[in-house]
Amino acid sequence: MLILGVESSCDETGIALYDTEAGLLAHALHSQIDMHAEYGGVVPELASRDHIRRVLPLTERVLAEANKALRDLDAIAYTQGPGLSGALLVGTSFAESLAFSLQIPTIHVHHLEGHLLAPLLEDNPPAFPFVALLVSGGHSQLMRVDGIGEYELLGDTLDDAAGEAFDKTAKLLGLGYPGGPALAKLAIQGKPRFKLPRPLLNSGDLNFSFSGLKTSVLTLTNQHQPLDEITRADIAWEFQEAVTEVLTTKCMAALRDTGLDSLIVSGGVGANSKLREKLNAATKRKLCNVSYPRLEFCTDNGAMIAFAGAMRFKALQLSGQHTTDKKNYSFSVKPRWDLAELLSP
């Protein structure tokens, strides 16, 4: 089965082709970072308009690279949510109208499930079951994953997620957009000088809370005004140490509690080199395995949506719930869509 994947939930337009027999055939991504950097963050209306400009050329490019035609498609998977309403509507309306013209089915994909399954796109994917750390945007979650659609929530964020804390701290340090990568780059120049709290490190559960850590950074920056370059770098170093220590500790606790020996990490913060360094060392000590998506698949992309859609479509076909004679191409988007709706009962 050949699946076209469409991602347009925020500030990246992603298109990909995934074949259930041959794997990922081609993918293309356009990032809007340069456009939004001028405003210090994503401007929803500008994001939507840019998706409109990019979605067709990217689709044509992916089809050409894979040497495929529209008539070869068996289904179209797209991000239905969560995300920005206008941005989601671009991808959704494009996917549904194209599917209508081809008379093929569509698959509605949860954006976070796409991230969750992204490590399975690699050449040697981890086998089920495994523990997953999902650190993407406003989400910091630990899950037990036993198969496609078989998810158990182990721990969740109580307030600010890791990605939000990175962005807010970067802003306090006067860094540009996007804040997370800028802070990680600055932290390389820093040294251990300050001490910030490690929220919920010894809470006895697998939940996260980073709002207080951000507040501690605010207090620290106020105490050292005006901030010089050395102080900014040292604060960035300590902040990154605090977040990655908490994430690593919770991951190892999740492996211990579940009795599993395989961990996957996905989402934008999963690209952080310090986090990977700590998780690699910790899992090695405990004789566990850890897997990551390649860096280009940590951020939003069409490949993860095509893959998640293909896995969902295949499962539905096997169960007899999905046919290729879909006639209803009405659609809606879910700007707020709790991943809990996909969890196992």
The pLDDT tens digits for 33-72 are 999 988 888 999 999 999 999 999 999 999 999 999 999 9
Rg (CA), the chain: 20
The three-class DSSP label of residue 52 is: helix
- Write out the two tokens for 332: 């809606």
**Residue 335 to residue 89: CA distance in whole angstroms:** 10
Sites in the chain below the pLDDT cut of 70 = 319-327, 343-345
The CA-atom distances, in angstroms, between 119 and each of 57, 62, 226, 305, 321 are: 27, 21, 43, 12, 27
Give the chain's end-to-end CA distance (angstroms, integer). Answer: 29
Pairing mode of beta strands 150-155, 139-147: antiparallel
Task: Measure the CA–CA gap between 26 and 18, rounded to whole angstroms.
Answer: 7
Tokens 């990568």 sit at which residue?
181
Q: To which residue do tokens 């919770």 refer? A: 250
| Phi, psi of 73, deg, nearest 5 | -70, 140
Helix (H, G, I), strand (E, B) or coil at 17: strand
- Matching residue, tokens 């106020």: 222
pLDDT in tens, 159-187: 999 999 999 999 999 998 888 999 999 99
Which domains, ranges and CATH numbers included, belong to the chain? 2-116+298-342 (3.30.420.40), 129-292 (3.30.420.40)
Predicted pLDDT at 314: 84
Looking at residue 208, the DSSP 8-state letter turns out to be B
pLDDT value at residue 345: 46
Q: Is the distance from CB of 127 to CB of 293 less than 8 angstroms?
A: no
